[in-house]
Amino acid sequence: MREYLKFYIDGQWVDPVELKTLDVINPATEGVCGKIALGSAKDVDKAVAAAKKAFKTWSQTTREERLDVLNRILAEYQKRFGDLAVAVTEEMGAPASLAQRAQVPIGMGHLSTAINVLKDFKFEEQRGPTLLVKEPIGVCGFITPWNWPLNQIVCKVAPAIATGCTMVLKPSEVAPFSGHIFAEIMHAAGVPAGVFNLVHGDGPTVGAALSSHPDIDMVSFTGSTRAGIEVARNAAPTVKRVAQELGGKSPNIVLDDDAFAKGVARGVATMMTNSGQSCNAPTRMLVPKTRMDEAITVAREAASQVTVGDPNGNSQLGPVVSEVQFNKIQKLIQAGIDEGATLVIGGTGRPEGLDKGYYVKPTVFANVTNDMTIAAEEIFGPVLSILGYDSVDQAIDIGNDTEYGLAAYVQSADLDKARKIASKLRAGQVSINGGGGDMMAPFGGYKMSGNGREWGDYGFHEFLETKAVLGYAPQAAE
């Protein structure tokens, strides 16, 4: 039973101004597995003040000093690898294999990437008589979600540290353990006091206090589009920079060629990863109408191979994160049935033999149309919709016919054809034939999937202001 009843502020573990606690639920057992303190606006004020004070000195550090700190953080992170993996499985139900293979390593990946980018990053550029300088934006507020908790913490913290910013982090109160351990890592690494601060809490209280705080210069939020709109609204009066990575309803266009069956199977496997709880999941598979029956056969077989169960065992899918999410997913599956989509496999209720835990059946719908609820709304569970198309141009139109634009996918034996389709899809990332894993590839979305980009060198720019120093070099006399 974990108890995390302190916050990390100004290099110390401190008591909240007023103790209010929240039980953390293990989604595999539905039992309480820990308790955290919930912060208030007063706790945020203390953390922001510490970050503001630390910014004066941290913003003036050298490249070498920041590299040294990042390398120490990476070393401490590696020491706590096992603790982090156990925490992620316990707090949000990721299978142990996924936690060890992806959930925890991706945090190391962001740290290593930030180190490599920082080594050669150009903070200054002279253009004639003018010097252009990239300077840290200031104090940053980070509000991160529960689905890939370490990924979304470290892809903000690492570039912020590298660029000379200071920060206050509010990890998800639904899955707060890994964020708390990350704060312990920062302390063990000797990050200077006030540079990194952590306050646990909920969105309406701590999240709102961060996004509206006059001494926060930038807020970076990852989560639902609905919550992102609230963050932007709260931030507007202080005209701070807002970076958002929000929802998605990503199309996956499978072309009519020799790679069809492989593409369908790959799409099912990718969709089910992390129990479908990824904002860039390929939730809408588009196949030629003439091959819909074949797609149904392949998808049913692929989904039937996905094992669901105890995340500490050998299952590929654990539970979804909470009762709230479970109930939402059940309603959306029922909506698919009610609106006339073909239920290929899965459906409502828990998988057979699982009477406790927020487990969802791997579910596939076919003959879905883009006006159905399951094709329009982000489900955030292991639910795939297969839509038919008559022509490639129509597939592209259907793919783009969404309020989101985070990711898109193309499957084809013809690489040139896939590239042409990728160029027409309105999304921040397009994956061809399963391509992925590039830590330098910018991540972020079009339309209501957000603004700004994270990862790699693009992630650095989010934390920098541009200053032009005029007359820096005297002009040659005429």
Is residue 32 pLDDT above 70, yes or no?
yes
Contact between 408 and 430 (Cβ < 8 Å)? yes
**Residues 6 or more apart whose Cβ sits within 8 Å of residue 125:** 131, 132
- Strand 241-245 vs strand 450-451: parallel, antiparallel, or unpaired? antiparallel
Q: Is 404 helix (H, G, I), strand (E, B) or coil?
A: coil
Tokens of 105: 């390593």
Residue 245 known to be catalytic = yes
Give the chain's mean pLDDT.
97
Q: pLDDT (tens digit, 9 = 90+) per residue, 164-211? A: 999 999 999 999 999 999 999 999 999 999 999 999 999 999 999 999
Phi, psi (degrees; rounded to nearest 5) at 167: -155, 160
Quick one: DSSP state of residue 291? Answer: G
Is residue 271 pLDDT above 80, yes or no?
yes
Distance CA 396, CA 422 (A): 9
Q: Residue 477 burial by CB count (10 A; 0-12/13-18/19+): exposed, middle or buried? A: exposed
pLDDT score at 475: 78
Is residue 272 pLDDT above 90, yes or no?
yes
Phi, psi (degrees; rounded to nearest 5) at 222: -125, 130
Mean per-residue pLDDT, 142-160: 98
C-alpha count within 13 angstroms, C-beta hemisphere, residue 144 = 29
Distance CA 420, CA 464 (A): 34
Q: pLDDT (tens digit, 9 = 90+) per residue, 400-442? A: 999 999 999 999 999 999 999 999 999 999 999 999 989 999 9
pLDDT score at 478: 59
Quick one: DSSP state of residue 204? Answer: I
In 394-438, which ranges are E strands?
A: 407-411, 429-432
Neighbours of 409 (CB within 10 A): 33
pLDDT score at 366: 98
Of 436, 450, 427, 453, which is closest to residue 270 (Cα–Cα)? 436
**Residues 6 or more apart whose Cβ sits within 8 Å of residue 38:** 16, 20, 21, 22, 173, 200, 201, 202, 205, 206
Quick one: DSSP state of residue 454? Answer: B
**Residues 6 or more apart whose Cβ sits within 8 Å of residue 107:** 77, 84, 150, 151, 153, 154, 182
**Residues forming beta bridges with residue 365, ordered by sequence position:** 343, 385
Give me the percent of the chain exceeding a pLDDT of 90: 99
Distance CA 423, CA 357 (A): 42
Is residue 135 pLDDT above 70, yes or no?
yes
- Strand 218-222 vs strand 31-37: parallel, antiparallel, or unpaired? unpaired
C-alpha count within 13 angstroms, C-beta hemisphere, residue 271 = 33
Quick one: DSSP state of residue 476? Answer: P
Of 433, 427, 143, 403, which is closest to residue 270 (Cα–Cα)? 433
Of 228, 364, 249, 223, which is closest to residue 297 (Cα–Cα)? 364
**Residues forming beta bridges with residue 4, ordered by sequence position:** 36
Residue 140 known to be catalytic = no
Residue owning tokens 């903000």: 156
Catalytic residue among 279, 378, 454, 462: 279
CA distances from 60 to 57, 157, 164, 219, 317 (A): 5, 18, 7, 21, 46
Catalytic residue among 76, 90, 173, 245: 245
75-79, 94-98, 213-217, 473-477: least confident range: 473-477
Q: Is 132 helix (H, G, I), strand (E, B) or coil?
A: strand
Distance CA 214, CA 240 (A): 8
pLDDT score at 477: 57
Q: pLDDT (tens digit, 9 = 90+) per residue, 308-348? A: 999 999 999 999 999 999 999 999 999 999 999 999 999 99
Start-to-end C-alpha separation, the chain: 77
Contact between 454 and 245 (Cβ < 8 Å)? yes
Give me the percent of the chain exceeding a pLDDT of 70: 99
pLDDT score at 474: 86
Distance CA 270, CA 288 (A): 20
